[in-house]
């Protein structure tokens, strides 16, 4: 069985949908509730690098102190943005998924289908009813 890790926030619908798609592939991932146990700075930097994104691309604005901290200032360095995420883990966008096929920020949630080592085992619809995978396990939406 492949080792898959999801940096998860159970209050986030996108994160819940992503976790459900991982499980729909027959994989029980390691679930890291990153607000309770945030990644170390080294791990966060590794995740960012492996996902092929910048710290700014990982920043979450909605429901966070993003505006209060002035994080929209384009002159802030990557190090400053990572410092903010370390101090306020809610600023780390979610869900981040690690699999043998790569690391992705799974927004939208169906992005996870690109890195799962196992196919979907059947139909899947998001919490809002949007069909993502058909009964044969084929992705309906572009992932």
> What is the tens place of the pLDDT at every residue in 105-128?
999 999 999 999 999 999 999 999
Residue 3: pLDDT band by 50, 70, 90 thresholds? very high
- Report pLDDT for 123: 95
Q: Residue by residue, what is the 3-state secondary structure of the chain?
A: CCCCEEEECCCCHHHHHHHHHHHHCCCCCEEEECCCCCCCHHHHHHHHHHHCCCHHHHECCCCCCCCCCCCCCCCCCHHHHHHHHHHCHHHECCCEEEECCEEEECCCHHHHHHCCCCCCCCCEECCCCCEEECCCCCECCCC
CB 28 within 8 A of CB 20: no
Whole-angstrom Cα distance, residue 18 to residue 75?
33
- Report pLDDT for 33: 97
Evaluate whether residue 118 is within a structural domain.
yes
- Report pLDDT for 1: 57
Number of structural domains (the chain) is: 1
Evaluate whether residue 140 is within a structural domain.
no
- Report pLDDT for 22: 98
- How much is the mean pLDDT over the chain? 95
Q: Encoding tokens for residue 3? A: 């080792």
pLDDT at residue 65 tops 70: yes
pLDDT at residue 100 tops 90: yes
**Residues involved in catalysis:** 12
- Report pLDDT for 143: 55
Q: Is 128 exposed, middle or buried (0-12, 13-18, 19+ CB in 10 A)?
A: exposed
CATH number of the domain enclosing 87: 3.40.30.10
Secondary structure class of 12 (helix, strand, coil): coil
Mean pLDDT for the stretch of residues 81-99: 98
Evaluate whether residue 48 is within a structural domain.
yes
Evaluate whether residue 119 is within a structural domain.
yes
Evaluate whether residue 139 is within a structural domain.
no
Evaluate whether residue 141 is within a structural domain.
no
Mean pLDDT for the stretch of residues 24-46: 97
Domain range for 120 is 5-133
Residue 79: pLDDT band by 50, 70, 90 thresholds? very high
């Amino acid at each position: 069985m492949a080792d898959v890790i999801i940096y998860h926030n159970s209050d986030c619908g996108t994160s819940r949908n992503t976790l459900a798609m991982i499980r729909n592939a027959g994989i029980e991932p390691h679930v890291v509730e990153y607000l309770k146990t945030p990644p170390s700075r080294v791990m966060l930097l590794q995740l960012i690098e492996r996902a092929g994104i910048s710290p700014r691309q990982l920043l979450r604005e909605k429901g966070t102190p993003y505006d209060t901290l002035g994080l929209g200032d384009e002159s802030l360095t990557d190090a400053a943005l990572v410092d903010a995420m370390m101090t306020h883990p809610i600023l780390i966008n979610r869900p981040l998924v690690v699999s043998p096929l790569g690391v992705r920020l799974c927004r939208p949630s169906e992005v996870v289908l690109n890195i799962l080592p196992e196919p979907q085992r059947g139909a899947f619809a998001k919490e809002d009813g949007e069909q993502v995978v058909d009964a044969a396990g084929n992705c309906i939406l572009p992932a």
